[in-house]
């Protein structure tokens, strides 16, 4: 490190020689002045690490210069150079704050070598002293110094403010050993030369009563105290103690408020009857779950904490990531999703979500409400309205039309004189009456549609039962015996299968075989096929066959079949090729079937 020196001497040659010798050491950079007046000018605009001044100068001597420097509070290292036999000058210089003095009788080289050897440690010591002084007096932390006997000898302004003491003399020589706030075990360790650290609630009124120290503080504070033994001479002998005190009262209050808040949150979270999850906003990791969540999903807390939210959400990962980001950004807070339980059952849920901070970490909270029953009720209401409208349509339009025809045939029969003509109109009236009966039977079946909870059907068992109900002596009914299929559908599912098979046998003309098989698709849905080897259905009629009155034998079978399947989200369409047989493709959503 290079130190900056100000060398003052009225002899310019001495200044030049001094600059040359001192800068050769590569320790100093020397600036010179030939008068005290010039020195003042330089000191106003420049920083120097030390001043070397000759004593004997014409306008103002070195002692006067030294006094002026010290009177301003400047503690810069100051060196006096004097001639031989000037002991009184040396004494005067030291009494006025000189740090070093040198006699000019030595050779310049010896003089400046000796000066370098002693000045460098002096500069370092002075700078360390200044730094310590600034730290001691400017520190916001209370600092105290005790002597080797444990008596207080120094306290900084922060300490005075903390303890409410205005005059340091009031606490001079305070005995550390009498401080009741120091735990006994800590005091023993300190006396054995160990550094100690402890935290205590500090009652200032107790200090007044126990030690008689006048203080403006009347409350209780929480303090962190650090005490370090100081070795001044021998490393193994304690020469004093450095005490640092931090007032952490506000921190403790904040921690207490935060702890209380967290306890309230924890109590609300744990004991709430609402299903609650805490998840990581990026990874989707489940960080916490309350008892209601464990009970709802059917997993233990430990199991849930090992899971990812993607394992519960029954939706595409991309969509879920978009929903999560919307929640983080505050763009959206309510989501309608499907969640899978440990049993495999998929439930409709309403999720309220938003970002919160827990232990300085941003997370997402999820409050989950099961709306499966509500959604089913809404769907049932829509179905009921639809059924009422349809039944009204059938009653007002279809039945009235057929009834008009029936009355007409009976009137014709009543006016005819020919028995054959009368029989002809009576037969037509019978057909109309049967049609009315058929419509009334449909309204009975249709009004029962959706009134009972969907159930799980063993499809192989249903197919066997249906085969026994159909007169299929010349038709083989084949289905997959290698896999077990369960489908969640209305109890009238057996009527759907019956109608499909009965339609194949009635309209297929040359049907010898009806096959039923199934497979799982990539998207998770199940495709279930019914096909026969009859004539099939013309392409122009594929969509019409599900209308109320379509076909060579007017009826409502396939219309009713489609309505039954739709209750649990199942769809049906005809996908066969005309001339090669009919093919009904049924699509079952994921979660509405089990395939083993």
Is the domain of 493 the same as that of 572? yes
Q: What is the DSSP letter of 151?
A: B
Which of these, 544, 542, 464, lies nearest to 497 by C-alpha position?
464
pLDDT at 448 over 70: no
Is the domain of 272 the same as that of 233? no
Is the domain of 240 the same as that of 332? no
Residue at a domain's end among 352, 370, 388: 370
Residue at a domain's end among 341, 370, 399: 370
Q: Is residue 148 part of a domain?
A: yes
Which single residue is written with the structure tokens 């009975």? 444
Helix or strand (DSSP H, E) at 375: helix 372-393
Is the domain of 476 the same as that of 565? yes
d(CA 276, CA 351): 10
Q: Is residue 341 part of a domain?
A: yes
pLDDT at 51 over 90: yes
Counting the structural domains of the chain, the total is 5
CB 90 within 8 A of CB 101: yes
Is the domain of 427 the same as that of 485? no
pLDDT at 355 over 50: yes
The per-residue pLDDT for 408 is 79
* Mean pLDDT of all residues belonging to the chain: 82
Residue at a domain's end among 117, 137, 157: 137
Mean pLDDT confidence for 140-156: 84
Tokens of 465: 């039962």
**Beta bridge partners of residue 279, listed in sequence order:** 286, 364
pLDDT at 541 over 90: no
Mean pLDDT confidence for 229-258: 78
d(CA 594, CA 222): 64
At CB < 8 A and 24+ separation, what contacts does 234-240 make?
236/193, 237/148, 238/148, 238/193, 239/147, 239/148, 240/145, 240/146, 240/147, 240/148, 240/153
The per-residue pLDDT for 205 is 60
Residue 49 CB neighbours (<10 A)? 21
The per-residue pLDDT for 444 is 67
The per-residue pLDDT for 472 is 61
User: Which CATH number goes with the domain that contains 90?
Assistant: 3.40.50.2300
Q: Phi/psi of residue 358, each to 5°?
A: -125, 120
Distance of CA 190 to the CA centre of its chain: 45
Is the domain of 494 the same as that of 589? yes
Q: What is the pLDDT of residues 377-405, one digit of tens each?
A: 787 677 666 666 655 655 555 567 667 77
Radius of gyration of the chain measured on its C-alpha atoms: 51
Which of these, 505, 465, 498, 496, lies nearest to 560 by C-alpha position?
496
Q: Are strands 476-479 and 513-520 parallel, antiparallel or unpaired?
A: parallel
Instruction: Look at 318-332, 388-402, 522-536 and tell me which has the smallest mean pLDDT.
Output: 388-402
Q: Is residue 224 part of a domain?
A: yes
Is the domain of 43 the same as that of 125? yes
d(CA 75, CA 91): 19
Mean pLDDT confidence for 547-561: 60
Q: Is residue 128 part of a domain?
A: yes
d(CA 572, CA 326): 36
Tokens of 176: 């550390």
Q: What is the pLDDT of residues 496-525, one digit of tens each?
A: 888 888 888 878 888 889 999 999 999 889
pLDDT at 167 over 90: no
Is the domain of 495 the same as that of 575? yes
pLDDT-derived band of residue 328, with 50, 70 and 90 as boundaries? confident
d(CA 7, CA 42): 11
Is the domain of 464 the same as that of 432? no
The per-residue pLDDT for 552 is 39
d(CA 99, CA 103): 14
Containing structural domain, residue 11: 3-137
d(CA 358, CA 279): 11
Q: What is the pLDDT of residues 190-222, one digit of tens each?
A: 878 888 888 878 766 665 555 555 666 667 778
The per-residue pLDDT for 329 is 80
Q: Is residue 252 part of a domain?
A: no
More confident residue, 209 or 312: 312
Instruction: Look at 224-238, 279-293, 506-520 and tell me which has the smallest mean pLDDT.
Output: 224-238
Is the domain of 508 the same as that of 558? yes
d(CA 571, CA 66): 105
The separation between the first and the last C-alpha atoms of the chain, rounded to the nearest angstrom, is: 83
Is the domain of 360 the same as that of 273? yes
User: Which CATH number goes with the domain that contains 545?
Assistant: 3.30.565.10
Is the domain of 231 the same as that of 285? no
């Amino acid at each position: 490190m290079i130190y900056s020196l100000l060398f003052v001497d009225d002899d310019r040659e001495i200044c030049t020689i001094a600059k040359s010798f001192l800068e050769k050491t590569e320790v100093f950079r020397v600036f010179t002045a030939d008068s005290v007046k010039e020195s003042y000018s330089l000191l106003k605009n420049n920083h120097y690490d030390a001043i070397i001044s000759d004593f004997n100068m014409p306008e103002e001597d070195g002692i006067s210069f030294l006094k002026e420097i010290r009177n301003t509070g400047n503690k810069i290292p100051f060196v006096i150079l004097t001639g031989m036999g000037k002991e009184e000058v040396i004494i005067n210089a030291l009494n006025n704050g000189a740090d070093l003095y040198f006699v000019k009788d030595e050779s310049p080289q010896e003089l400046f070598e000796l000066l370098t050897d002693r000045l460098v440690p002096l500069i370092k010591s002075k700078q360390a002293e200044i730094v310590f002084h600034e730290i001691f007096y400017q520190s916001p932390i209370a600092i105290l110094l005790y002597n080797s006997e444990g008596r207080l000898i120094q306290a900084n302004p922060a300490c005075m403010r903390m303890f409410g003491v205005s005059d340091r003399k009031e606490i001079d020589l305070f005995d550390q050993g009498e401080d009741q706030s120091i735990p006994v075990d800590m005091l023993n360790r300190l006396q054995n030369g160990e550094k100690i650290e402890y935290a205590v609630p500090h009652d200032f009124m107790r200090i007044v009563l126990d030690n008689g120290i006048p203080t403006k503080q009347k409350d209780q504070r929480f303090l962190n105290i650090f005490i370090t033994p100081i070795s001044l001479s021998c490393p193994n002998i304690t020469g004093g103690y450095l005490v640092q005190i931090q007032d952490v009262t506000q921190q403790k209050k904040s921690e207490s408020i935060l702890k209380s808040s967290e306890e309230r949150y924890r109590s609300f979270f744990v004991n709430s009857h609402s299903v609650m999850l805490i998840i990581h906003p990026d990874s989707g990791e489940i960080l916490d779950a309350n008892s209601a969540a464990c009970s709802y999903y059917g997993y233990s807390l430990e199991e849930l904490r090992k899971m990812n939210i993607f394992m519960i959400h029954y939706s595409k990962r991309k969509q879920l990531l978009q929903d999560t980001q919307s929640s983080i950004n505050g763009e959206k807070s309510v989501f309608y999703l499907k969640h899978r339980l440990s049993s495999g059952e998929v439930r409709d849920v309403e999720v309220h979500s938003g970002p919160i901070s827990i232990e300085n970490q941003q997370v997402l909270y999820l409050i989950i409400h099961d709306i499966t029953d509500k959604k089913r009720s809404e769907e049932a209401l829509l179905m009921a309205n639809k059924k009422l409208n349809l039944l009204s349509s059938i009653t007002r339009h279809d039945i009235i039309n057929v009834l008009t025809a029936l009355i007409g045939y009976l009137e014709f029969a009543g006016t005819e004189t020919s028995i054959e003509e009368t029989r002809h109109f009576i037969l037509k009236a019978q057909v109309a009456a049967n049609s009315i009966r058929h419509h009334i039977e449909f309204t009975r079946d249709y009004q029962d549609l959706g009134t009972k909870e969907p159930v799980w059907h063993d499809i192989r068992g249903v197919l066997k039962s249906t085969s026994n109900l159909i007169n299929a002596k010349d038709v083989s009914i084949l289905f997959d015996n290698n896999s077990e299929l369960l489908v969640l559908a209305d109890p009238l599912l057996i009527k759907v299968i019956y109608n499909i098979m009965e339609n194949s046998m009635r309209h297929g003309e040359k049907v010898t075989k009806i096959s039923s098989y199934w497979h799982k698709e990539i998207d998770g849905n199940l495709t279930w096929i019914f096909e026969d080897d009859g004539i099939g259905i013309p392409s122009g009629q594929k969509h019409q066959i599900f209308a109320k009155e379509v076909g060579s034998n007017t009826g409502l079978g396939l219309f009713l079949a489609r309505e039954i399947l739709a209750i649990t989200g199942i769809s049906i369409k005809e996908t066969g090729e005309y001339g090669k047989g009919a093919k009904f493709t049924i699509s079952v959503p994921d979660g509405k079937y089990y395939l083993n």
